[in-house]
Chains A and B, each alone.
Chain A
Amino acid sequence: MTIVGSAVSRVDGPAKVTGTAVYAADFALADLAHAALVQATVPRGRIHTIHTAEAEAAPGVRAVLTHENTRPLPWAPRDPRPGVDPKAGERLHVLQTDEVFYNGQPVALVVAETYEQACHGALALQFEIERDEGSAVDPEAVEPEAPDDQQSSMGDLDAAMRDAVHSVDVTYTTPGHSSAPMEPHASIADWDGDRLTLRGSYQMLKFNRNELADSLGIDPSNVRILSPYVGGGFGSKLGIAPEAVAAALAARQLGRPVSVAMSRPQVFETTMRRSETRQRVRLAAGGDGRLTGIGHEALVSSLPGEAFSEPVTQATPFMYRGDNRTTGLRIARVNRTCAGSVRAPGEAVGVTAFENAMDEMAEKAGLDPVAFRKINIPAEDPSQHIPFSSHKLAEALDEGARAFGWDKRRAEPRSVRDGEWLVGMGMASAFRVNMVVEAEARVRLNPDGTAEVETDMTDIGTGSYAVLSQIACEMLGLPADRVTTRLGDTELPPGSGSGGSFGASSSGTAVFLACEEIRGRIAEALGCAEGDLTLKDGVAVAGNRATPLAEVLGGRCLEAEGHVEPGETSSAVRQATYGAYFAEVAVNAVTGETRVRRMLGAFAAGRILNRKTARSQFLGGMTWGIGMALTEALLHDPRHGQIVNHDLAEYHVAVNADVPQIDVLLLDERDDWSNPMQTKGLGELGVCGAAAAVTNALYNATGVRVRDYPATLDKVLAGGL
């Protein structure tokens, strides 16, 4: 293996940095009209009057679409929906009802000749909306649902807690988060008779095509979605958002292509948010620090009727040993922007709070946090009693600790001072479930010795173009410049889409299988077994005979499709990825400001396809962890439920000055159960507990335990700094 695994640069990199890569809103279609969404300003209620005259008379305005003049749409959702996809339901059914379900809900669309005219027209639109006083905007103030299938228990946790030598019973809260992708959501809809082409910014095109078709009541075969480049998604583009349906409706009504580009606040308000969580973690341990009981119960929120709820305890069943286990999830139904998948739904917040509790327990048990985790690594999945497909948490802990210099940590909090800065070290384990989903891809080997890879898989900044090309290069023995990968078009074979860290493994396996078939046919032509065939630099070597590929092909194309579906390996073994984060932070003793000084992550995620794009994913994940630990929080108005900090000036993602040197160690691992490439997904593993390493370091530095994320300076000071 020479190409797979190496640090290959993105093939799409030059197009992106020179501005020639075309993103959704940038397609210049002839006769394109531009539209702006108008949003409700109450959390729940009914629209009873819309004054459209002024907007309709505004310069350049061509149409104002509301529920009163938009044709009724059927809604026939198909099943099954992908596991990470929120049930879109009525949320996608824009402009169909006078009902308002959340503050910020799109209720009208103003279409004009230019974007500026559309925005101006939108400002002129006046609604009279009657607020339903029964609306609920505070998740702590409603009686939550406790669905039976979200509660699980084995053994007797209460007894384990009673009998424990050491125990921890703590509650952590995390605020809502926004995915905040760099590229705001945008769609251009273009009808040709009954056929709709949508240029959008989406992660999972085969599902997005169905969603759009379902929303419009048309056959999916009449919908084509193009998303050649996607400027980040982080879950917010898993499902289509209101602007896609609105663009399609407007384009049909006007008989010309229509572009709907969201403003930054609209991305915050109308796509999705990560739910805030309240998490109670209980840990019971014997005198030797071995865990005997684990409890993890969470309260999250979502819109009434939505199927998705933040799966906070997703990793809890297999993280650590313990015979007595309880997990539970309660869901508060509130009139807030729909909750959905934001990078690493479940683990990002669930592992974080759990790893804080683990830090508290290590201290109580008088054990080093790394050693404490190591003695609690289970030999098998402790909830299902099935083996792990591969498991290198211990190695990640050891190698990470060694590389970071963990042995220099002082266990006693507040024992290292650098001027007025208190310095500490903290760590946390990383856990994320591994998934492979159905995917198809086509590979064509051309007579001139070039090859093409085709699938509707997306590249959302993750490196799909690079890694899928690498797999084809490796399998077909071609140099990088002979392989072209085409993505992001529903006319191509349906790939996995990007989400749940499954993209590279799933779509990559489909490419692998297609290449394997092509290799088989070459072997057949040469009269050898596929296993005896070597393809290298455009030459086929079988036995002691070298034949140029062009000669083997004899002017023909060799084309094959690969198709992978998850099989029984998903239930026969526990598949997950593991890692360990280490952080050193300094906290100003006067002001409470916390600055991360350095951070390191060691990760085991099966075979690494591309060391460069993999490292970038981990750097990004840990950067998210810093933001989650110290600054990021969605704030909702207590009376009206709107997101008040709805832009990047006020929703504080980490900026360069917040992010220190981050080191990434990629452990050598092969997972024989996951797929033929032995890879596991890694796109989200970097954020699954990273924030806990930072706040555990904050505690080590100061002796202050902030259990209400983010650990802003006022909370650090209030903790008694």
Chain B
Amino acid sequence: MQPFAYRKVRDVAAAVDHGAREPNTVFLAGGTDLVQLLQDGIARPDGVVDIGDLPFASIASTIDGFRIGALARLSEVADHPQVRARLPAVAAALDETASPMVRNMATIGGNLLQRTRCLYFRDGVSPCEKRDPGTGCGARRGRDVQAALFGASEACVATDPSDLAVALVALDAEALVVGPSGERSIPIERLHRLPGETPWIETDLAPGEVISAVFVPRDAAGRAQAYTKLRHRASFEWPLVSACVSLAVVDGIIEDARVALGGVAHKPWRAEPAERLLIGRTLDAALAREAGEAATEGARPVAGNAAKIPLLARVVARALADAGGLP
């Protein structure tokens, strides 16, 4: 672990100020990911600003939607009666995340900003454009089933490991952000970036910007929704592939569809071919399968991850069937 300056802040302005003025400073919330990265020498910040005491922990139902504080613990959100009743895809994504012990520590904002589980990023020694720019990508021609199927670049094939982010993209949620130039909101879909030539830049956040909350619009609760995750073992594993679908169904016709995929790209990946296929039609098992196949359009396997493609078709079909209450 590289030595760093640790500061605990009690107000938002101080956090933003540290983050904006001091280069190479990171925010610490639940610590379930950052502490490991520090210990392994993968994160090498000069400063760590502990934002755990900021007033970002509340969960509230408002006139226009749900506001979930960025410092709320995953377990609290998953167990929240309104989340369970009205945003079942969010509850399911959280239930499927990590283990109960991790969920008791990890925060909503931290979950969205956790770093990739790419084996070549995490090992601390392989070439990695994300960890050590200029060294190349060790994973692309290596062996890692977690590698991306969509949106990868020559520089990076890493995937975002969050379950929650996939559900939030399917529900068209936003991240509420506080920063040097005030407050703004970013659609979760645009929070994470594709790697391109600069895979070390992972999000749209500017230095000093802190996520204060996640906002889920009220109409998300009215949509048919489901989150489905596939992995090797039954628990405590990042998604091999996952899918979250949310459907606006009127008189049996799908008026709007959002299909987000997890474990396959540097960000939650919108399966637009599947969405286009669904809109205007009535969901049945055949359409679910067809949409599953459509979700794999454009998938480009690398690093021995081709086995995920058929799984992707299945997980989308499964999520659609669950959302639509099909047998």
Give Cα distance in the complex from A41 to B127, angstroms. 11
Query: How far is it, in angstroms, between the C-alpha of A425 and the C-alpha of B232 when the chains are bound?
Result: 21
Q: A119-B39, A649-B117 are in contact. Are A593 and B230 (CB under 8 A)?
A: yes
Q: Tell me the chain B residues, 32-53 only, with Cβ under 8 Å from chain A.
A: 39, 41
Tell me if B314 and A590 are in contact (CB < 8 A): yes
Chain B nearest Cβ from A309, distance in angstroms: 24
Question: Is B308 touching A644 in the complex (CB atoms < 8 A)?
Answer: no
Interface size class of chain A, counting residues whose CB lies under 8 Å from the partner chain: 35 or more
Contact between chains at A652 and B233 (CB < 8 Å):
yes
Q: Point out the residues of chain A lying under 8 angstroms from B307, CB to CB.
A: 712, 714-715, 718
Question: Smallest CB-CB separation from A635: which chain B residue?
Answer: B143
Interface string of B121-156 (1 = CB under 8 A from A): 001111000000000000001111000000000000
Chain A residues numbered 316-368 whose CB sits less than 8 Å from any CB in chain B: none
Known: A635-B143, A639-B142, A646-B123. A714 touches B308 (CB 8 A): yes
Q: Is the CB of B232 within 8 A of A631?
A: yes
Known: A635-B143, A637-B143. A592 touches B311 (CB 8 A): yes
Report A637-676 CB contacts with B as 1/0, cut-off 8 Å: 1111010111001101011111000000000000000000
A657-B235 in contact (CB<8A): yes
6 contacts between A and B (CB under 8 A): A644-B142, A655-B235, A655-B236, A657-B236, A715-B307, A718-B310
> In the complex, what's the smallest C-beta–C-beta distance from A599 to chain B, in angstroms?
15
Partner of B230 from the list A595, A639, A713 (CB cut-off 8 Å) is A713
| B235 adjacent to A656 (CB under 8 Å) | yes
Inter-chain contact B234/A590, CB cutoff 8 Å: no
Query: B315 contacts the other chain (Cβ, under 8 Å)?
Result: yes
4 nearest interchain CB pairs?
A: A714-B307, A657-B234, A657-B235, A123-B41
Contact of B318 among A591, A640, A712, A714 (CB under 8 A): A591
B2, A631: Cβ atoms closer than 8 Å: no
Contact among B3, B41, B119, B317 for A645, CB-based, below 8 A: B119
Interface pair B232/A712, CB less than 8 Å apart: yes
Contact A657 B311 (CB under 8 A): no
Q: Which of B117, B124, B307 is packed against the most chain A CB atoms within 10 Å?
A: B307
Bound Cα distance from A631 to B237, whole angstroms? 11
B1 interface residue (CB < 8 Å to A): yes
Please give me the residue from chain B that is nearest to A103 by CB atom: B125
B10 to chain A, nearest CB (A): 27
Instruction: List the A residue with the shortest CB-CB distance to B2.
Output: A120
Residue of B nearest to A119 (CB): B1
A39 (CB) vs chain B CBs: closest residue: B125
Given contacts A649-B237, A712-B232, 10 further A-B contacts (CB under 8 A): A123-B124, A590-B314, A590-B321, A635-B143, A642-B126, A644-B142, A646-B123, A652-B232, A657-B236, A717-B310
Give A646 to B125 CA distance when docked, in angstroms: 13
Task: Tell me the smallest distance from the CB of B288 to a CB of chain A, in Å.
Answer: 10
B120 CB-CB contact with A under 8 Å: yes
Contact status of A630 and B119, CB under 8 A, knowing A591-B314, A592-B314, A714-B310: no
Partner of A265, one of B2, B41, B123, B236: B123
CB of B263, distance to nearest CB on chain A (Å): 13
> For chain A residues 98-154, which have a beta carbon within 8 Å of chain B?
116, 119-120, 123
- A282 → B minimal CB distance (Å): 30
Report the separation of the CA atoms of residues A717 and B306 in the bound assembly, to the nearest whole angstrom: 13
A658 near B233 (CB under 8 angstroms)?
yes
In the assembly, what is the distance between CA of A592 and CA of B142, in Å? Answer: 26
Q: How far is the CB of B160 from chain A (nearest CB, A)?
A: 16
Map CB proximity to B onto A693-721 as digits: 1 under 8 Å, 0 otherwise: 00000000000000000101111011000
Contacts of B143 in A (CB 8 A): 635-638, 644
Task: Enumerate chain B residues within 8 angstroms of A636, measured Cβ to Cβ.
Answer: 143
Residues of B within 8 A of A715 (CB): 307
A638 touching B41 in the complex, CB below 8 Å, given contacts A41-B125, A595-B234, A717-B311: no
* Chain A residue at smallest Cβ distance from B321: A590
Cα-based distance from A637 to B240 in the complex (angstroms) = 19
Which residues of chain B come closer than 8 Å to A712, judged between CB atoms?
232, 307
User: Which residue on A lies nearest to B44, using beta carbons?
Assistant: A123
| Minimum CB–CB distance for B27 against chain A, Å | 21
Which chain B residue has the least Cβ–Cβ distance from A645? B119
- Is A713's CB under 8 angstroms from B311's CB? yes
Instruction: Give min CB distance, B261 to chain A, whole Å.
Output: 15
Question: Which residues on the B side are within 8 Å of A717 (C-beta)?
Answer: 310-311, 314
The answer to whether the Cβ of A527 comes within 8 Å of any Cβ in the partner chain is no
A276 to chain B, nearest CB (A): 14
Closest approach, in angstroms, between the C-beta of A641 and any C-beta of chain B? 11
| Smallest CB separation, A231 vs chain B (Å) | 19
**A657 in contact with B141 (CB, 8 Å):** no
Q: Nearest Cβ in chain A — how far from B106, in angstroms? A: 14
Q: Is A59 an interface residue (CB 8 A)?
A: yes
B123 touches A642 (CB 8 A): yes
- The answer to whether A116 and B1 have CB atoms under 8 Å apart is yes
- Cβ-defined contact, A639 with B315, below 8 A: no
Report the separation of the CA atoms of residues A636 and B123 in the bound assembly, to the nearest whole angstrom. Answer: 13
Query: Which of B3, B233, B318 sits near A59, CB closer than 8 Å?
Result: B3
Of B126, B232, B308, B314, the most chain A CB neighbours within 10 A belong to B232
The answer on a CB contact under 8 Å between B233 and A657 is yes
Residues of B near A638 (CB, < 8 A) are 141-143
Contact with A along B206-236 (1 / 0, CB 8 A): 0000000000000000000000001011111
- Tell me the minimal C-beta distance from A6 to chain B in angstroms: 35
Q: Which chain A residues lie closer than 8 Å to B318 at the CB level?
A: 590-591
Q: How far is the CB of A435 from chain B (nearest CB, A)?
A: 33
Residues 458-481 of chain A, each 1 if its beta carbon lies under 8 Å from chain B, else 0: 000000000000000000000000
* A630-B310 contact given A120-B1, A265-B123, CB 8 Å threshold: no
Complex Cα–Cα for A595 and B234 (A): 8
Quick check: A714 and B311 within 8 Å, CB to CB? yes
CB closest chain-A residue, reference B125: A41
Give Cα A123 to B126, complex, Å.
Answer: 13
**Neighbouring B residues of A650 by C-beta, 8 Å:** 117, 119
> Using a CB-CB cutoff of 8 Å, which residues 405-428 of chain A contact chain B?
none
A644 to B119, CA, bound (A): 6
Q: How far is the CB of B163 from chain A (nearest CB, A)?
A: 15
Q: How many Å from the CB of B282 to the closest CB on chain A?
A: 20
In the assembled complex, the Cα of A650 lies from the Cα of B237 at a distance in Å of 8
Instruction: Tell me, in angstroms, the Cα distance from A710 to B307 when the chains sit together.
Output: 14
Task: Find chain B residues with CB under 8 A from A265 CB.
Answer: 123
Q: Is the CB of A655 within 8 A of B234?
A: yes
Within the assembled complex, what's the spacing in Å between the Cα atoms of A717 and B3? 48
Residues of B within 8 A of A116 (CB): 1
Nearest-Cβ distance from residue A68 to partner chain B, whole angstroms: 21
CB distance A658 to B3 under 8 Å? no
Given contacts A41-B125, A591-B314, A650-B119, contact A655 B142 (CB under 8 A): no
Q: Kindly state the separation between the CA atoms of A712 and B315 in the bound complex, as whole angstroms.
A: 15
Asked whether, in the complex, the Cβ of A120 is within 8 Å of the Cβ of B3, the reply is yes
Q: Which residues of B have CB within 8 Å of A119?
A: 1, 39, 41
B-chain residues with CB within 8 Å of residue A655 when the two chains form the complex: 99, 233-236
By the criterion CB–CB under 8 Å, are A591 and B235 in contact?
no
Q: A658 and B234: CB pair below 8 A?
A: yes
CA distance A639 to B126 in the complex (A): 12
Closest beta carbon of chain A to B67's beta carbon, Å: 32
B1 to chain A: which residues have CB within 8 Å?
A: 116, 119-120
From 236 to 271 in chain A, residues with beta carbon under 8 angstroms from any chain B beta carbon are: 265
How close is A615's CB to chain B, nearest CB, in angstroms? 23
**Could you tell me the distance between the alpha carbons of A595 and B233 in the complex, rounded to whole angstroms?**
9
List chain A residues, Cβ under 8 A from B99: 655
Question: Complex Cα distance A116/B1, Å?
Answer: 6
Contacts A649-B117, A656-B235, A658-B235; A591 near B311 (Cβ below 8 A)? yes
The contact string, 1 if C-beta is below 8 Å from chain A, for chain B 299-327, is 00000000110110011011001000000
Are B144 and A644 in contact, with the CB atoms below 8 A?
yes
**A123 and B144 in contact, given A631-B233, A650-B119, A713-B232 (Cβ under 8 angstroms):** no
Inter-chain CA distance A645–B2, complex, in Å, is 24
A713 to B233, CA, bound (A): 10
State whether A591 and B315 are in contact (beta carbons under 8 Å apart), knowing that A635-B143, A637-B142, A638-B143 are contacts in the complex.
yes
